[in-house]
């Protein structure tokens, strides 16, 4: 059984410049990469050249994050959200990113947030041909983030009803917010477009603990998930020193 482990440059080798993180991912045997919003400030020609030379597919990329961690669900920020979406689509399509993550944002006012979120996601779908992702983020990691649970995200998908809109299923966030990762995954597997992994303990390397990926990942595949597995964890020391977690696979 093979797994496509995707190095998340927003968390791995963060002591190095962005291009060097990508090179380290290739050097240390990752099959693919995924970005936060680093490409927004990069030379895209140079980035495309590097990715081609290394033969590293890019699974996902974030739209601009900013201090509010996106703004797609902020009713007063619709013009900024649309601008961020347009810019992210141009970058993603230019460098060959497979999926674009649209961040909902942190807000205390949720009265009109759903309508703004629906409208901005529909805008992203109408102006692109790639997969669009939304990610539930647990309250413990990002207090006030609008999208907190997989159930909430699934309801958004049901309203918009577009096959290119999928859930980014981060096992740490799901475990921390609601507990049962496998049961939740099985219930919503048809809506999941990307998976991210880390330990339940300190969001560190995904060694066995409260979350046992040697059991979970085969179950995910048995349920039908064949996509990448984003390694979005916080290394306890140097990134390369903690990569032996992959030995179990």
Query: What confidence score (pLDDT) does residue 161 get?
Result: 98
Q: Give me the chain's average pLDDT, please.
A: 96
For the segment 126-137, what is each residue's pLDDT rounded down to a tens digit?
999 999 999 999
Average pLDDT (159-171) is 98
Query: What confidence score (pLDDT) does residue 108 get?
Result: 79
Average pLDDT (223-241) is 97
Report the SS3 class of residue 173.
helix
Instruction: Tell me the pLDDT band of 230, cut-offs 50, 70 and 90.
Output: very high
Average pLDDT (149-171) is 98
- Cα–Cα distances (Å) from 86 to 80, 93, 106, 170, 220, in that order, read 10, 11, 21, 25, 33
Q: What percent of the chain has pLDDT over 90?
A: 96
Residue 109 has pLDDT above 80, yes or no: no
Report the SS3 class of residue 244.
helix
Q: Give dist(CA 6, CA 230) in Å, integer.
A: 5
Q: Is residue 101 a contact partner of residue 91, using CB atoms and an 8 Å limit?
A: no
Residue 86 has pLDDT above 90, yes or no: yes
Query: What confidence score (pLDDT) does residue 138 get?
Result: 96
Q: Which residue bears the tokens 């093979």?
A: 2
The enclosing H or E element of 49 equals helix 44-54
Residue 159 has pLDDT above 80, yes or no: yes
Instruction: Tell me the pLDDT band of 110, cut-offs 50, 70 and 90.
Output: confident
Instruction: Tell me the pLDDT band of 114, cut-offs 50, 70 and 90.
Output: very high
**Alpha helices per DSSP H over 70-149:** 78-95, 113-126
Average pLDDT (161-181) is 97
For the segment 195-206, what is each residue's pLDDT rounded down to a tens digit?
999 999 999 999
Task: Read off the pTM.
Answer: 0.96
Going by C-beta distance under 8 Å and a sequence separation of 6 or more, which residues neighbour residue 176?
Answer: 138, 140, 141, 200
Q: Give dist(CA 218, CA 225) in Å, integer.
A: 9
List, in order of start, the domains of the chain with CATH numbers. Answer: 5-248 (3.20.20.150)
Residue 96 has pLDDT above 90, yes or no: yes
Q: How many beta carbons lie within 10 A of that of residue 4, not counting itself?
A: 15
């Amino acid at each position: 059984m093979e797994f496509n482990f995707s190095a998340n440059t927003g968390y791995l080798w963060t002591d190095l410049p962005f291009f060097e993180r990508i090179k380290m991912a290739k050097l240390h045997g990752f099959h693919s990469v995924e970005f936060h919003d680093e490409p927004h400030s990069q030379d895209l020609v140079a980035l495309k050249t590097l990715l081609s030379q290394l033969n590293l597919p890019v699974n996902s990329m974030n739209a601009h994050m900013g201090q509010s961690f996106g703004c797609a669900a902020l009713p007063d920020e619709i013009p900024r959200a649309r601008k961020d979406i347009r810019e992210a689509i141009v970058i993603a399509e230019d460098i060959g990113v497979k999926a674009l993550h649209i961040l909902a944002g942190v807000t205390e006012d949720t009265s009109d947030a759903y309508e703004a979120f629906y409208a901005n996601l529909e805008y992203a779908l109408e102006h692109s041909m790639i997969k669009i992702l939304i990610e539930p983020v647990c309250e413990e990691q990002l207090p006030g983030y609008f999208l907190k649970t997989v159930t909430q995200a699934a309801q958004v998908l049901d309203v918009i009803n577009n096959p290119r809109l999928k859930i980014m299923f981060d096992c740490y966030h799901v475990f921390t917010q609601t507990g049962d990762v496998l049961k939740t995954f099985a219930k919503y597997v048809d809506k999941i477009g990307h998976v991210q992994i880390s330990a339940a303990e300190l969001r560190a390397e995904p060694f066995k603990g409260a979350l046992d990926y040697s059991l979970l990942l085969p179950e995910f595949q048995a349920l039908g998930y064949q996509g990448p597995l984003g390694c979005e964890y916080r290394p306890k020391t140097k990134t390369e020193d903690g990569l032996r977690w992959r030995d179990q696979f």
